[in-house]
Chain A
Amino acid sequence: MSALLLALDGLLSISVVALAWATVTRREPRQAVILFIAFGLLLALVWARLRAPDVALAEAAIGAGLGGALMLAAARRALIQRDAAPSPAPPEEAGR
């Protein structure tokens, strides 16, 4: 039981750090933000395992959800501004 739990702890920690690494090394800002949202949700899962359900709820809703939405909108604006020169045909994003 304890060994199984330890394996779970290790697995969760490694995936959190790996996801953070993927987030900060991604060049494309939009993809980085999407990875950040995934990272926040996984972190919420880890905090639920660490018996902090209040904080996990807040992180999933505020940290990953609203923070991610804010930065996604910013990434999108940057994208529009970058290809503003010809008639802009930005990718569909309203349905996330």
Chain B
Amino acid sequence: MTAHLIYAAAGLALVVLGAWSFLVHAPLLRKLVALNVMGAGVFHLLISVGYRGLDAPPDPVPHALVLTGIVVAVSATALAVAFGQRLEGSAGEQDRD
């Protein structure tokens, strides 16, 4: 029971940390990293919900959700990187900070 709470608290902390950094920091790449940290927090929360102690098998449904979520997060990251590249290319010499 306590292990759940410790890990869930860590997941919540990751979500909040990611959201804060996403809102506060201006550079696009830092926003992207922050978004990924936030996503990792959500995954961590789901995994900690799926954990049911050392002697019971864990719940496979959240695991499957997280598995698809990881792949979707990476494809979104790739798309965001491509967009960012295009943005910087077209912005030319404008300041990017």
Determine direct contact between A and B, CB below 8 Å.
yes
Give bound CA distance, A62 to B78, whole Å.
12
A33 / chain B contacts, CB cutoff of 8 Å: 29, 33
* B71 lies within 8 A of A62 (CB): yes
- A residues less than 8 Å from B17 (CB atoms): 17, 20-21, 24
Contact A50 B70 (CB under 8 A): no
Q: Give the CA-CA distance A7 to B21 in the complex, in Å.
A: 29
Q: Once the chains are docked, how many angstroms separate the CA of A33 from the CA of B81?
A: 13
Cα separation A88 to B85 with both chains bound (whole Å): 19
In the assembled complex, how far is the CB of residue B10 from the closest CB belonging to chain A, in whole angstroms? 4
| B90 touches A (CB below 8 Å) | no
Q: Which of A32, A36, A70 contacts B74 (CB 8 A)?
A: A70
User: Nearest chain-B residue to A17 (Cβ)?
Assistant: B13
CB distance from A71 to the nearest CB of B (A): 6
In the complex where A71-B77, A78-B29 touch, is A51 in contact with B10 (Cβ < 8 A)?
Answer: no
**Bound CA span A29–B34, Å:** 11
Question: CA of A74 to CA of B63 in the docked complex: distance in angstroms?
Answer: 30
Residues of A within 8 Å of B44, CB to CB, are 16, 43, 46-47
- Known: A36-B33, A52-B51; 15 extra A-B contacts, CB below 8 A, are A9-B3, A13-B10, A20-B17, A20-B41, A50-B51, A50-B58, A51-B51, A52-B63, A52-B66, A55-B43, A59-B43, A67-B73, A70-B78, A74-B84, A78-B96
A-B CB contact pairs (8 Å), 8 listed: A5-B54, A13-B10, A24-B33, A33-B29, A52-B63, A55-B63, A59-B70, A71-B29
